[in-house]
Structure 1
């Protein structure tokens, strides 16, 4: 890899997590939002980003915790650039450990709490080797508990129907390649559409439609890594065309899919 070029390196595939290490010398990515937690660690330099109406500066020693569906960007704070590791954690994985509680929220997007740093450490290993599945499962559980403790209890929430939301989520996964209607999800969940939709947002951090779109984009990225063209990947994953997919990809990840592929190839 070149010391003067931006690059990105993905960890070996995991059934539960996506992990990545990257370097950006200047502007990293445009404002975007995704439906996962982004939990990261700056390894060198200063990582600057806008988050919840403020500008944050991440230095080595802290933990970045971006909540699902919160808009953010990223760029270097100095001419030397910044290097960081990040993992993307689906809220559904946290719910398996938290049992249907509202999602933990870190308002500033950066925590200096040593408990959160320690809990995320096993998942911040180098990208060159896969994490043992049992170690990964234990680490996700510990991270969920640490997030809940550091974030504290969130008040004012009505009781959530976790099982109904899970039934709707399972149905979405069974229908990624076709149009899904609100009526279908209402039947699958067994609950009134407004109640399960409210609970879905509270439990998984995003709307049902965006959840469906992001799962299709996951499929697109997997296909692009295997060498499929943008057009082929778009159609296979259920998008109307390449333009439609590119629009959603850029909104979700802050960079167009073609640049994303080039970053991976530079490492």
Structure 2
């Protein structure tokens, strides 16, 4: 089903009509760009069980009421609001009314936010996950208005800069500086994990690479990357497995190629990270593809 969409201010009518009258859950995934995943989702009832990403989840509620539990509190977002989920924060998701829910969201690697100021400061934490922030909304609209179009390098650079500014503004706290040695150590650890994510990377290997003991590295890594080295490595494996599934590989083959011990190991990590099994994720993606 082809639908004209318009995310400009005051122009959400087209999106609010998207999939109306079709009580079928589904997710639409744009081609990943610059490490950023862009998704459009439609749900009736519960969408996700509790889970956590290692990215920022920055979204726009387009139709219905988006409800989720975050940091121990039930949250509600109406159409037009911005959603900000911090890396590694547990949350679930559901449609708050029988009319269903439509939203678009990006999963933004913390590394891109850190890079805006040269990895000199800890990540901004936004205490309120539901916002009415024109700056953040307009930046997200630039990336989410057309999921079929790949953003250019210059467009992505501009949007990331504006998102970083909005996150620091909404954090409402002074920026916490990292020492040059801590910054260098974390970036070396990140690069090692990126290169060897299908392997078992030991704490000893990370200590040798960075010059920090494992506990100090874990503390500094979380400040700059939003998660632990272990979780970061697991997420790289999950990203690889998702790409393999999208290319038509079976679950067992995708799990093995990404470095998981077996399919059950892969499924456990997938559910904890995305709030559903790999099979359910594939079914939702297929449902949206068939309706387009």
TM-score (structure 1 length as normaliser): 0.95
Aligned equivalent of 1:143, options 163, 181, 197: 163
Shift of 1:256: 0.4
Q: Does 1:5 align with 2:24?
A: yes
Q: Does 1:237 align with 2:258?
A: yes
Cα offsets for 1:116-139 (capped at 9, x unmatched) = 222332122221222222211221
Count of matched residue positions in the alignment of Structure 1 and Structure 2: 267
Query: C-alpha distance in 2, partners of 1:234/1:130?
Result: 28
* 1:119 and 1:143 in contact (8 A); partners too: yes
Q: Which structure 2 segments of 5+ residues have no match?
A: 2-18
* 2:38 and 2:147 in contact (8 A); partners too: yes
Corresponding residue for 2:14?
Answer: none
Report the secondary structure of 1:131's partner residue. coil
Within 5 Å, which residues of 2 pair with 1:53-202? Answer: 53-100=72-119, 101-154=121-174, 159=179, 161-202=182-223
* 1:26 and 1:79 in contact (8 A); partners too: yes
Report the secondary structure of 1:105's partner residue. coil
Report the secondary structure of 1:50's partner residue. strand
Cα offsets for 1:102-159 (capped at 9, x unmatched) = 1111112111122222233212222122222221122112211221122122577774
Shift of 1:38: 0.3
Q: Which structure 1 segments of 5+ residues have no match?
A: none
Task: Identify which range, 118-127 or 42-51, moves more after superposition.
Answer: 118-127
* 1:34 and 1:70 in contact (8 A); partners too: yes
Cα offsets for 1:63-110 (capped at 9, x unmatched) = 100000000000011001000000000111111103331111111211
Aligned equivalent of 2:68, options 49, 73, 76: 49
- Over 3 Å counting, the alpha-carbon distance change for 1:130 and 1:157 in structure 2 is closer
Cα offsets for 1:184-226 (capped at 9, x unmatched) = 0111112232222210011111111011001100001000000
Shift of 1:19: 0.2
Query: C-alpha distance in 2, partners of 1:163/1:138?
Result: 25
Query: C-alpha distance in 2, partners of 1:12/1:242?
Result: 25
Q: Alpha carbon RMSD of aligned pairs, Å?
A: 1.6
Aligned equivalent of 2:249, options 221, 224, 228: 228
Query: C-alpha distance in 2, partners of 1:113/1:190?
Result: 41
Corresponding residue for 1:29?
Answer: 48
TM superposition outliers: structure 1 runs of 4+ over 4 Å: 154-160
Query: C-alpha distance in 2, partners of 1:71/1:246?
Result: 18
Report the secondary structure of 1:88's partner residue. strand
* 1:48 and 1:75 in contact (8 A); partners too: yes
* 2:136 and 2:162 in contact (8 A); partners too: no
Report the secondary structure of 1:19's partner residue. strand
Query: C-alpha distance in 1, partners of 2:186/2:31?
Result: 30
Query: C-alpha distance in 2, partners of 1:24/1:119?
Result: 24
Query: C-alpha distance in 2, partners of 1:183/1:262?
Result: 40
Aligned equivalent of 1:18, options 20, 28, 37: 37
